[in-house]
Amino acid sequence: MKKISIIVPCYNEEQAIPFFYEEINKISKTMKTDFEFIFVNDGSKDKTINVIKEYAKKDKRVKYINFSRNFGKEAAMYAGLENSTGDYIAIMDAD
């Protein structure tokens, strides 16, 4: 079975992540393939990492990378690509 990796660069996305996760989870359940969701917290100043960690506790498909400071979207995308294990990869914004 093939796997799809969804890479989600995040910067101050505390409020957007629950909506994003709910919708992407609905879509993933309709497909006959494995998924992994890689959230990359790019030094957010809000509680983005806490929200991501809660989803990771509940869903083994959720993985995360937490940057110590803001390195920029390109660095977040690259980190996600380097850590993805999917046969197919998509990069999506949370908002």
Q: What is the pTM of this model?
A: 0.96
Q: Which amino acid is at 41?
A: N
pLDDT, residue 1, reads: 75
pLDDT, residue 24, reads: 97
Residues of the chain below pLDDT 70: none
Give the torsion through C-alpha atoms of 51, 7, 78, 72, to 10 deg.
-50
pLDDT, residue 31, reads: 95
